[in-house]
Structure 1
Amino acid sequence: MRNLNIFARLFISHTGMGLTVVIILSVIVYLFLRNTLIQRTVDQLSAINVLEKDLIQIHLAQLKGELEGLREQAILHRFFQPANTQEANEEFGDLLGFHGFESLWIYDAGGNLIFSTDSTLHDYLSMALTGQTGARDSVRLVDATPFAPGHQTTLLFFMPVVGDVGMEGTLIARLAFERIQTILLEETGMGITGESYIVGDDFRMRSRSRFFPERVPYDVEADRESVTRAIRASGDPAHIVRDYRGVEVLSAYNVLRIGDVNWVILSEMDLDEAMKPVRGLRNSLIGATFLLMIVAVMISYGLSTAISKPVLAVRDLMTSLSHGIIPRKRATAYPNNEIGQMGEAINQLIEAFERSVRFANAIGSGQFDTPYEKLSDYDSLGTALINMRDRLKQLNENEIRLAKSRTAALLEGQELERRRITLDLHDGVGQLLTAIRMRVELVEGNEDRKKEIKALINETIAEVRRISYNVMPQALVDYGLKAALEGLCDTIRKYSGVRVDFNYVETGEVQPDFEVSIAIFRIAQEAMNNVLKHAGATQVDLHLALSPEQVYLIVADNGKGFNPGDLKKDEAGYGLRNMKERARLLNGDFDVNSTPGQGTVIEVTIPLQPGNAV
């Protein structure tokens, strides 16, 4: 059993259980049908037994009534009058057969025989009369079979005869037992082996046996146990007993007590005959049992397959997971049973592995804000991944801050260098050019020549001022962002011929600090340079919206546009990256929307932190 897989174990156990249940049920059904048939047969025998008992009691009661009727007739009393005895003998002989009596004896009060139709029982009758007790007018029924010649079944009525002067004598009548035998031989509903018979309290039969009709009934001894039970009325009646032949029979009985007669009337049928329908049904039941066993095997196979299949599937999934392979297939989950719950748990584990892989890949690609849901508070793997993400995020933030610091320091150095250059151009080159122009005024000579030289000097001074403005607009320092952008727009109009529309909207009284202002100005300046160098535009719109929360800048042109995905690391590409980097340093957003032939739109949003506004 240890080496068998789960399917084989389940199949063997289910098959064994199913076969056991089928066999037990078949036995139960057989026993139930057998007991039901036995009970029905016993009930039928009981009904016949009660009916025959009632018929016998009615017959005996009729005979007793007829005998008591004779006691009222004068003919009976004439027997005790010597003068009328002969006349009474002739008349009473005719009445004997009419009333259904087989023999008759009349004794006087002294016990002397007056009239008799049978002399065989005289000794017994004399003795019985001597010991007779009871009421003077009562009629007694006596079983005299043990004393009858040949032990023929003999029932005697003892009836006292009372006249006007007192006790006259006793009339004894012998019943014709054939009438009772006729009642017992009624075989309706008794089958082939059924019979009803009478047994005395001496356990000897009183009626003829169906199976031994030639034997004297008294010579056949009945089963003592069943007769004793009936006479004593002790315990539950035993339905299956052995009869006087030693054969198992179904038996029903009733006690027949009339006068001194204490008989038992039994109605029985051979068990083999009663069980014939059950034996036929038993064969059919055996066949049905084999069919049910086959069905049980098939059901066991189906159940074993249904139970073992998901278990084996879970095993395969667990094996794949143990090798580090995340299976694509999922276990079938049925939440109403344990196997389905195991499948659901495996599916959750697989999903957790997949989430872990996606989470790890996202962290590896720098997406440190990717959420991760742990399986539970005790999910150590999930906790470790979240801790790793947080540490990597902290390291990345530190690196970003460091990069921002380096970039900010570099830009700050650039701005300082530009301011120094601007001061040098203004204080050095500018003043020298002004001095040269003044000297030219003092030189005597050709006036046209002097004007030409002065014009060149003025152009040089203007170019120096333009360069100085581009390097560091003094208006930004002196008058703020709006003035600097207006100066930038004027310069573009003057030197390029491109139409520039500048729109400035300010909500609330707030001004960005110099760091934000210089960043916005440089982004706008770089965007304008890209328009002049690459876009071929004729119209540029520059919009600046300033609110206490943010600075919003839009630079839109109607140039030839481009595909941002095709942008290479050329001058325009470096310019866009510089603009984006300046916005990023201030935690801002930088977006470029451009389509070939439809111009370009640059949007910049920089939040104003409490320290970025004045």
Structure 2
Amino acid sequence: MKTNLRDRFVLFLSLTGITIIAVTGLLTYRIARNSVTDRTFSQLKTIRNARKFQLEQYFRDRSAEVLQLGQSQELTDFFSDLNQKNEQLKEGDTIAISSPGSYVFSTVFDRPGHHQLILFSKNNNGFIISRSNSKQISAVYFSGENKYSFASTAKTSIAENNVRIRDYDTTTKLPLMYVFAPARQGAVITGAVGISISADALNSILLEQNDQNGLGYSGEVYVIGSDFLMRSQSRFLEQSVMKTKVQTVPSSDVFANSEGQLIDNDYRGIPVLSSYSRLQIPGLDWAILAEIDKREALMPLENLRNTLLLVSVGIVFVLVFVSFWLSRFFSRPLLRLRNAVSEIGKGRLGITVDHQSNDEIGELAEAFNDMSLKLAEQRSEIAKREFQLETERRQRIQSFIDGQEKERQRLSRELHDGIGQIFVAARFQLESLGQNEIIQKLAPYAASKNLVDQGITELKKISNGLAPAELTEFGLASALRSLCNQIGNVPGIKVNQNISDLKTDPEEMVATHLYRIAQEALINSIKHSGASETDVSLIEQNNSLILVICDNGCGFDRKEAELKHGQGLNNMRERARLIGAGLKTESKTGCGTKIEITYQIQHSHGEQD
């Protein structure tokens, strides 16, 4: 089958472009996938380490608590009083406690997950103390004849003179752990004191019920033992403690290698990203696992994949269109040459072929025209064309350089006023959150604050940005309302709005500059003046737009502000000057600040200052 040059050119260019697009898309998707996976594992590791520290600290606190109870004179006296009655008591007899408000009982029973206080004597008898829902405390007597699972732990604690922790007891209706320490009267060990703990204590640390904590709607953190049974409540299965067996690759690997991370199925058979580590709790061979569904973790890649497909399809259509256009562009001169040769063959000498390119086809046309035209005339025409092309080239280069310089200036202003202010607002949000002592202790809080500070530092060096989308989509008034709402969300800041809908929105460039001036003024009000209330108004009056920002802050001295605020005030003046608007600043130390911008819709005037 015969194919012409144009068809082969289109086919080659299209296949080359499609191959490049496919390879680029696959590499982009792979890199993005690795990046999202690494970020998710890092987040899971951070959450896992935080929960691990909380759990280990919890058992350290409980060990210290039972040691303190064992040395408590109040508890020793109480135990002695009960022992005086044990000769008249039988197994299972109950004694009502007359002092339920005791500090000892409050210490034990007021903590979540604490169910019993156990007093164990060297004679293998003692009392199990519990508190009912009505806050009544009672003691149940037990003797050595009755076999309790915690007895061996209490005896070991007495023999070793140390704290002992026992894993869950599954013989009871509610699985309980036990923490025992020696009970002392002076230097003499009289027995052991212990507390029983249910899974509620662990669940209060591990269970997360919202998707704003870094685990999304499918993530969870749970604890397993060396028998692979769950020691904490599953987020997805009811009554999973000591009932659900987690026989997975991560659960096996954690007891073999202490810690790690991988992608595999969880105990539900669902693919997850899992980060795991052994817990360092004396007497307990446990491990902690932080997991999130693979589908949720990689969900951002679905949007990327769809975008890549849409963009690739669009590029292919454009590429095919360009290929057809280029094929016609290159084949048309050849067709003209063929027709001109046919005309010369018929005896029509002196015919010439027009050409606009300087490539091989142009050279062929030029050689053809040399047969019909004089060499001098052809040279003159070529020189003239070359001069015109060179002049146009120089003009384009000069225009490009001028445009490049203007673009750099614009980007410098916009990035400072846009993304830079968002980073500043983020820093204030973090500082507001940092007032919470719990958040201050979290490692992600300090890291996030450092990253924001680094971003602000780098943005000050670059100092440029882009116009907000609200201006193009909804207009200046809507964009200012959105800005005020955003600033008003900062704790301790109130923004009053008096923003009227405009009959006709100003040009995009004018609206952008007015928006940036308002944004700079509001951020300066929060950052420098310490204002608690700011008024923002936008009105259209007598063919003019009047934008006023007024706060109740500390105000500023004009000369000091020039040095202190960097280029913030200068940027506002420059923006007003670019659109021909008047800008007035009124401020006095201790009396707040007022900034007024007046823009003439039909005629603009210079800055008023």
TM-score, normalized by length of structure 2?
0.46
Query: Which structure has the highest helix share of the two?
Result: 1
TM-score, normalized by length of structure 1?
0.46
- The structure with the largest alpha-carbon Rg is 1
